[in-house]
């Protein structure tokens, strides 16, 4: 938005594209790296339904063998 506004006010499409490019690069530098403070308390996800169903079926098959 900032790049568009400055480009519009200055009537310069290249300035608008430069500001947009700088914004994309700065955002990528902030988002892409695996920052340690984001990984210190990992989220414990629930198991997938397919995995849970397969485990239940395997347990049922094991119980029926006995």
Query: What tens digit of pLDDT does each residue of 13-63 get?
Result: 999 999 999 999 999 999 988 888 878 888 888 888 888 888 888 888 888
Contacts by 61-64, CB closer than 8 A, 24 or more apart: none
Res 40: pLDDT: 87
pTM: 0.52
Q: What would you measure as the largest C-alpha separation in the chain, in angstroms?
A: 81
Q: Which two tokens stand for residue 48?
A: 């997938």
Backbone angles phi, psi at 40, to 5 degrees: -75, -30
Q: Which two tokens stand for residue 9?
A: 């006010």
């Amino acid at each position: 938005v900032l790049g568009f506004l400055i480009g519009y006010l200055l009537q310069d499409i290249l300035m608008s594209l430069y500001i947009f490019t700088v914004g994309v690069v700065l955002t990528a530098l902030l988002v892409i790296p695996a920052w340690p403070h984001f990984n210190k308390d990992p989220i414990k996800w629930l198991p997938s339904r397919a995995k849970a169903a397969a485990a239940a079926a395997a347990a049922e098959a094991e119980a029926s063998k006995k």
